[in-house]
Structure 1
Amino acid sequence: MRLRTVLATLTAGLAAATTLTAAGPANAHPATGTATSTATGTATSNACSPAVSLDGFSDALDKTTFDGTFVGNFSALALDRDGSLAALSDRSSLFGLDAKTLAPKSVVPLADESGAALDSEGLAIDRDGTRLITSETEPSIRRYSRDGRILDRLPVPSSLLVAPAGRATSNQTFEGLTLLPGGRTLLASMEYAISGDSTGIVRFQTWRRQHGRFALSAQYGYRADSGLGVPEVQALPDGRLLVLERGFTTGVGNTVRLYLADPRHATDTGGVANLTGQDGVRLVKKTLLADIVNCPSRGATAKQPQPNPLLDNIEGMVITGRAKGRLEVLLVSDDNQNAAQTTRFYRLRVRV
């Protein structure tokens, strides 16, 4: 979701992507040392918390173009079957990036059935290579081919539709999207609460694959921190989730927190009209892994006030692998095509 609508003149970006390694991003923002931890998980100079460390960041794609398309507005990331990285722009473009250098390799335009642009926010790549993409306008989830053709559209509960059709608020709907282990269940996260639910309690909707198509399945409630929404979720192999929470305060900057969440024993809220937090409903349990404000800045600079210059409007997240017992996680910020914000990629190592 675009958090601000400030009009600004775009600045010229770097001409080429740079490699992001454990030692930090090359050239533009050299890092000092690598992130390491002891057997007991003691924080190091690169640690954001005992569970999370920052390996590096890169601003190399900030305010650049590829094949005539602005590179930015990134709202989601996913790994493709060939090992490349897919990056979704909320301005109806899907980029293919080199997973190591971040260099753009391709761009595919997206549209709805009438050819209109999407407010594309969530992305998951299915086992057959098709792309599942949310638009928070209605909201909707569509299945696209690699070349951007619409193949299917998933059903959405009426309560999650934007008012007056449903109880959701415009630009506060499906932001996160992930396939659970085995690929049979798809999960989408609402960004903020729907009308009638307590502020801060957002709904996670799932679909179960039946006869080759996704049908509506269980729904869960998740309580976000005060003032924060949920822009992204990623499934772990055991069925737990990494959940990104994010907010913005004018004159202060962004708040971004990473949580480990477990929906496996939560109540199915599909038939619960109003979630109050005091109704006996078991919400998704969560554990704070890191508040990104506590990460080392590693030489990062900010174009607007931030409690840590490393921070920006972080909105996309993907698990890229595992090394030394920790997950390798890549984050990206949505610059809203705004000169006061930055398209920034972050490499984290996360112990869950």
Structure 2
Amino acid sequence: MRSRIRFVVAATVAVGATLASPPSVSSHPHGSDKTVAGVEFLGEVVVPTGELFDDTEVGGLSSITYDARRGVYYTLSDDQGNRSTGDPVRYYTVDIDLADGTLDDGDLEFVDVTQLFEKRKRPFAPGGLDPEGFALGRGGQLFMSSEGNTLADPIIDPFIRRYNRRGRPTADLPIPEHYHPNGVDRGVRFNLAFESLNVTPNRRSLVTAAEGALFQDGPASTFENGSLARILEYDLRWRWPIAEYVYEVGPWAEPSSIFGVNGIVEVLPIDNNGTMLVMERSFSVGGVLGGGTGNVVVINEISTAGATDVLDVDALYEDGAPIPVTPVSSREVFAFDDLGIPIDNIEGMTFGPTLPDGRRTLVIVSDNNFNAAQFTQFIVLALDIERIERTR
């Protein structure tokens, strides 16, 4: 089936001047941009909760990245190492066969599992992180993001760490001060930090995003209001943040008197000039959308062109109102509700191989929270991506 494409342009929060990134670094060189012109569903594979691989429980798959050189995928388990199973913090290597242009039962196989360490061969302390984002850089380097835990005592800060494929850490990336939480009125909110992580096609930049607003950036999303989230970009040569933009998260898709959330769960650049796919997921306890699961997930295409760089801005709210900034422009390119199937807690996406007709596969995975009422879900879409020229 082919999805209809709907356009939603983000409104300006307020008109203001753009804060420039460091002059020594050009994060978006001039050149052609890309845009998604069409989307097709290629199939789904569901892995039941409780399935084991190499004596570990397959589940909590919060992110996925593609190794084109080896033809395999690496998917991160959102296991904090504190479950009764005793499973370690880890990622899986997965083989996904898309040779016939579809994803069917039998096309997916787990082939390896690798433990991720805190320092050299020292495992993470149980509950010492919240692994969420996972991305492959140059030379086999892997990057993992953790949301941290603002409810822990002491507070566990979010982080982004570089790894080799053997699960050994090799470097940490600096986190801007405005993300560091005090648990009250500054920094990331609980469970609304670095859910996403991906690299640009040239592998020179790494992007992540706060799932929702920092404390000092205004309210978290509710059924009545949206939220201002920050998209953060790093230069990987210097391992340094170089730009940051505002994304307008929408309100919850459905009301709930028990629990609801909406936020950015993945960011994926489609060119080197600031065009990205943003996966926004809403969940409402008791919701009937998402095939009855309460998970309402959309993919938006955004552009940072003309958006305010807020890297040096400590707070997006002053005196109870947003400051003058221009957010990224945004348009919806795909809604998972259009598939007419149950949608689980989708959190990760990566580009896979190019199909013979030139379209790019998009491989998507869900985090089942190790919950017997949920399931691990792999979905593959085909994207028709067109090149466009823009005058700068």
Q: Same fold (TM over 0.5)?
A: yes
Is 2:284 the partner of 1:249?
Answer: yes
Q: Residues 227-264 of structure 1: CA distance to partner in whole angstroms, max 9, x if unpaired?
A: 32001111113531111000211111111011111123
**Aligned match of 1:84 in 44, 52, 72?**
72
97-106 vs 274-283, which deviates more? 274-283
Q: Residues 169-202 of structure 1: CA distance to partner in whole angstroms, max 9, x if unpaired?
A: 1221101111123222111111111012134110
Number of the residue aligned with 2:248: 223
Q: 1 CA distance for matches of 2:374 and 2:183?
A: 33
Unaligned runs of 5+ in 2: 6-37, 80-88, 98-106, 149-156, 220-226, 253-261, 288-293, 386-392
Instruction: State the secondary structure of the residue aligned to 1:226.
Output: coil
Q: Residues 96-121 of structure 1: CA distance to partner in whole angstroms, max 9, x if unpaired?
A: 00122321111011232363253111
Number of the residue aligned with 2:171: 152
Number of the residue aligned with 1:293: 337
Q: 2 CA distance for matches of 1:225 and 1:79?
A: 29
What is the letter of the counterpart of residue 236 of structure 1? I
1:158-173 mapped onto 2 (5 Å cutoff): 158-164=177-183, 166-173=186-193
Number of the residue aligned with 1:22: none
Distance apart, 1:157 and its partner CA? 0.7
Q: Residues 21-77 of structure 1: CA distance to partner in whole angstroms, max 9, x if unpaired?
A: xxxxxxxxxxxxxxxxxxxxxxxxx13324322111001464311111111100000
Distance apart, 1:278 and its partner CA? 5.2
Distance apart, 1:153 and its partner CA? 0.7
Number of the residue aligned with 1:107: 113
User: What's the RMSD between the two structures over aligned residues?
Assistant: 1.9
1:117-128 mapped onto 2 (5 Å cutoff): 117=126, 118-128=129-139
Number of the residue aligned with 1:234: 268
Q: 2 CA distance for matches of 1:77 and 1:274?
A: 31
1:33-44 mapped onto 2 (5 Å cutoff): none
Any conservation in 1 of the 2:48–2:375 contact (CA below 8 Å)? Answer: no
Number of the residue aligned with 2:2: 47
1:1-352 mapped onto 2 (5 Å cutoff): 46-50=1-5, 51-60=38-47, 62-80=49-67, 81-91=69-79, 92-100=89-97, 101-113=107-119, 115=123, 116-117=125-126, 118-137=129-148, 138-164=157-183, 166-199=186-219, 200-210=227-237, 213-227=238-252, 228-239=262-273, 240-252=275-287, 253-276=294-317, 279-297=323-341, 310-323=342-355, 324-352=357-385
Q: Residues 251-290 of structure 1: CA distance to partner in whole angstroms, max 9, x if unpaired?
A: 1111101111112332110122322585331211111012
Q: 2 CA distance for matches of 1:161 and 1:99?
A: 38
What is the letter of the counterpart of residue 275 of structure 1? L
Q: Residues 124-180 of structure 1: CA distance to partner in whole angstroms, max 9, x if unpaired?
A: 111110210001112101111111111111100111123249511122110111112
Output the TM-score relative to the length of structure 1: 0.78
Instruction: State the secondary structure of the residue aligned to 2:174.
Output: coil
Distance apart, 1:216 and its partner CA? 2.0
Q: 1 CA distance for matches of 2:143 and 2:65?
A: 10
Seq. identity, %:
31
Any conservation in 1 of the 2:229–2:247 contact (CA below 8 Å)? Answer: yes
Q: 1 CA distance for matches of 2:217 and 2:42?
A: 38
Q: Residues 2-29 of structure 1: CA distance to partner in whole angstroms, max 9, x if unpaired?
A: xxxxxxxxxxxxxxxxxxxxxxxxxxxx
Output the TM-score relative to the length of structure 2: 0.71
Any conservation in 1 of the 2:72–2:95 contact (CA below 8 Å)? Answer: yes
Any conservation in 2 of the 1:48–1:296 contact (CA below 8 Å)? Answer: no
Instruction: State the secondary structure of the residue aligned to 2:337.
Output: helix
Number of the residue aligned with 1:14: none
Aligned residues, how many?
293
Q: 2 CA distance for matches of 1:258 and 1:57?
A: 17
138-147 vs 165-174, which deviates more? 165-174
Unaligned runs of 5+ in 1: 1-45, 298-309
Instruction: State the secondary structure of the residue aligned to 2:195.
Output: strand
Q: 1 CA distance for matches of 2:335 and 2:201?
A: 26
What is the letter of the counterpart of residue 190 of structure 2? S
Instruction: State the secondary structure of the residue aligned to 1:48.
Output: coil
> Structure 1 residues 119 and 156, CA, compared in 2 at 3 Å: closer, same or farther?
same
